[in-house]
Amino acid sequence: MLSPVNQNHRIVLLDILRGFAIFGIFVVNIEIMNCTFMNGDAFAEQFTSVLDSLAVRVKQLFFYSKFFPIFSLLFGVGVSIQLASMKRKGISHFFFYRRMFALFVFGVLHIIFLWSGDVIHLYAILGLLTLVVSRFKNNYLVICAVLLLLFPFYNSVATYLMKWVGYDMMSYLSTYTPDDIRVTIRSGSYYDNVILRIQEYKNNVGVLYVFLAPKAFAMFLIGLLLGREGVLHKLQDFALRIKRPVL
């Protein structure tokens, strides 16, 4: 049976990097938490000062598309560490399935009751896929990750798949104007916001599963590879060696 990780066995650098990545993701999502992904441009039109423009430029330069890949990579490293620990202790993969199921449920509840931009449920699904490919050799993991990152036709794939299954993403928020969304989020009832979050999630399915999921999975694979090679342990040892001279 697995128990909570002993403080002495934790990789402190991994915890620091996770916190750093979560902070960056939070900064990017602050604006979206006050609107929806699809009406973000309309929401941003109210911010016209020089300071607002500077804040947008800083986010674009230092935050956009930077921290989601980092967090995904660290998740892959975490999966690698868990699998190695389970193998060392002779624990079956059922424990991992159970953890991913709990993570998925937590993500779904997050979508319904707090915010539709959750990716934790997606990470749970990708975590199971990572377990499947964890048997692959390192060179195969690299090839899969590179192909996922460089594949140029995700937009075409999304359009074809949605048309094939008859899924019209845009229809789910078609009854909402930008003002309706703003008013609902700021002063609507909790029930109205739950309905809005569910509709927004259905509206974002293509973005989530066709655009974000492949990139996240590619970073999972790279993280799995780095975890196998003990890169973070080596980095932590290096950081400890230079800590005193730097201070």
For residue 209, pLDDT beyond 60: yes
| pLDDT level of residue 244 (50, 70, 90 thresholds) | low
| Token output for 170 | 């845009």
- Whole-number average pLDDT of the chain: 85
Lookup: tokens for 225: 């590879």
- The model's pTM is 0.84
pLDDT in tens, 161-208: 888 888 888 889 888 888 888 889 889 999 999 999 999 999 988 888
